[in-house]
Structure 1
């Protein structure tokens, strides 16, 4: 048994969550996802003028479905134009990879979907597996697309066994602190009025200061959990690690026995401080005799402070005493959450341009003075490492009620 740390900068990597999973489940109301979906609907092709003869269901940019991941589906429709009899076309649903360029692509709501082992989100076309990994290992994933406009068009069905490539760990980290919001950019100063050939131009106004960045949120402490580990045989795999998590987190996780098995109860990382907003440019001096002086640039906003990392949790692992090889397969992580980084200082606003000299002997005004740069925020503090331990023990009662088809490999 050994201790190591499973951490990357992005929480999404730690959670092994794909963008598709996020789209379909907890973040369906967030503004970025709403914009993606709205853009697809606005530019989507309509099937009103097409006679569909066949639909084909596939996966978008994926060869399989991970047990705790997600994929975007793709539906292809072979169609003939209702008025232009010689016009045939293969239409398809929009892709996340289109980066908002959804013109001519179909909306997923043109089709009906049924699924075993998970759910399909009609807005995004994302399939997300259900949480019961043992049930999904036994049944696999079955997804069927239909075309409700025309019942004579045959449905199309996909079947996949779960893959486990995206399962990086069992257990949980404390919640990560939110990043501070960036400060607003200062507005540009108003330009001075012109004075003409015989009157001085007015000076430009001072640019507004940039807003201060928000502070990052603190990461939460890691959970207190007990994990039980054994090896099992399934209909599709001769040897897999099965981990049952109890305590602040409850879960049952299947993992690939040929890869390192990480069990975690780490503290959440502190959120980064938001960047200070840049100072606004000074307004230009008005033309005149002489020209007006440019306004001074605004001061850059201060960066926000990074949040503190959460303390590592308390992790106890009990592995199957009849399978001593588990001791070298399992790694523990109850490490502290990282400190959030300091928000950068906002840049100084540039001084405004001098007003042009006009008329006989008119001289140009002076250039405005650049503003001052803001101050960077302070980094947060890392949390303290938690406690982790592992020992062999009797786990028979923990795994006594496994479903038929899942067999514990005890000796």
Structure 2
């Protein structure tokens, strides 16, 4: 079977194991349609807000240092604890997504984020602020996996990469919107007013999820088509399937660089490292994030129709990332020229936005739609665990008085190593996507 034929097949070939028989009885995939886009649109709006809240501290980093009297290393713990909670909960929320469905999970996630943002808004001390960020991380952890799960349950397999790519676009918009708008809100409404306003918006979105979103087009699956596979068996099934393993390595290589910048260090890097004025730095981060949004749906559409393009696309991205970041940290005499820095940021932003279209499409290979939650959780965990490590490492290095070139060395090392592993896996044996319709 050719790769394209396998990608559009209507019967899943799953690995042998406790749930193997269920893979042969999963019904043909859904047709999509207007209602599918509406349900996904409400779900992805929650993801937009999750990305907004996740990256909002980047625009407020300097204000947070003054408000909580925290240095760079201590300040980095705020978003990193949030991301650590996110990482730790990826597999549990993947299991939850497979068992209770996206509607309940997304509603609970939005409520947790709203409460966390409100607590962060009124926090009188760093300890209370940390508690707020932990709640945001718990709500954030639920969102992306369930939006991806809605895509798997409401759209045919051939559109999964496209919808995943559009999900990445929504996240990219949320990430870009967290810089300039939040910066203006902080100056206009103050710390408490700005964050309370965004908390209220998130609470309204939780009500929309409850009213509009449904788990699947045709109601619950018939008895016997979705056996309760034990947690460890679900994890083992995903790990022994090549598709999820490729997705994990790809996400670890492509997602962390720009996420690290968006979460915390991009704004300080452009202001204190490169020398841009604060307003220019915020506009640049927002502009770069917005300028590359078209990449994700394009890659998603190509991968859906021509799955053979995934290998050269993933290889090219991994190579560009490694070369670009090696140039940033290894440029003799200090940071490279501004044009080189901006080019690396542009490529990193494009890769971060496009990552879902490839990483999670790889993760679908060999698994039916009903068991994508755990695989998606593992893929997400690989990218964000790497992000947590390199972002905290950057803060520790900066605390010693070293510059941003030294601070970004850990990020460059992990990007190059993961990229090398990805290229090796892809060219040793090309991926052969198999789908359930």
TM range (shorter): under 0.3
TM-score normalised to structure 2 length: 0.20
Higher helix share: 2
Greater fraction of residues in strand: 1
